[in-house]
A and B are shown apart, each in its own frame.
Chain A
């Protein structure tokens, strides 16, 4: 009965590949997020969707494309992976707005070789 789940937990891939990370929340929340935590441990927002609509789109390379098929799912597709994409990617969700408590998934540790 995990609230926010992500798959895969670990992802090791070669430069230039395309990969996807999936996220699902069973909390009935309206808003979902993708964060990136790099090797220096800074956690930064990448995208946010509210009821399947994009509301936050930070300065992220367009190789990163989020997709929200429904409000319980927010997937992240990454094209042409680069070494600098190696990080832990966290999905999160909140009831309504950004101001509401955000619940994070367990993270996906991406390593690009």
Chain B
């Protein structure tokens, strides 16, 4: 079983739509989680960290459910510029103290 699993998509949504991505992880000892964004043929960039209490940054909301071992990202009022691949990332604990990236979910926002 892969450590971090995401629905690869693609997700095609119209501008203004609300879209949600989920991600599951297998390591219950994982310390932290993040969402990164990667534009086509570009480097990944941190979008937001994910906290147990849930956190919001403008149109983006991230949630962590440790009991079910999944993370979600909600994007409201989608913009064309949101088109990218969204990477779910886990920071492991102990000897696994490194970032593990999911394969990513491709989002295309259409006019």
Write the residues of chain A forming the contact surface with B, with a CB cutoff of 8 angstroms.
40-45, 48, 56, 58, 90, 98-99, 101-102, 104-107
Contact = CB atoms under 8 A, between A and B. Distances in A.
A40 B98 contact: no
Q: Is the interface of A mostly helix, strand, loop or mixed?
A: loop
B55 interface: no
Chain B interface mostly helix, strand, loop or mixed? strand
- Size bracket of the B interface: 10 to 19
B63 interface: no
28 contacts: A40-B103, A41-B85, A41-B104, A42-B103, A43-B44, A43-B101, A44-B101, A45-B98, A45-B100, A48-B98, A56-B98, A90-B44, A98-B91, A98-B98, A98-B99, A99-B31, A99-B32, A99-B91, A101-B46, A102-B46, A102-B99, A104-B43, A104-B44, A104-B45, A106-B42, A106-B43, A107-B42, A107-B43
Interface of B: 31-32, 42-46, 85, 87, 91, 97-101, 103-104
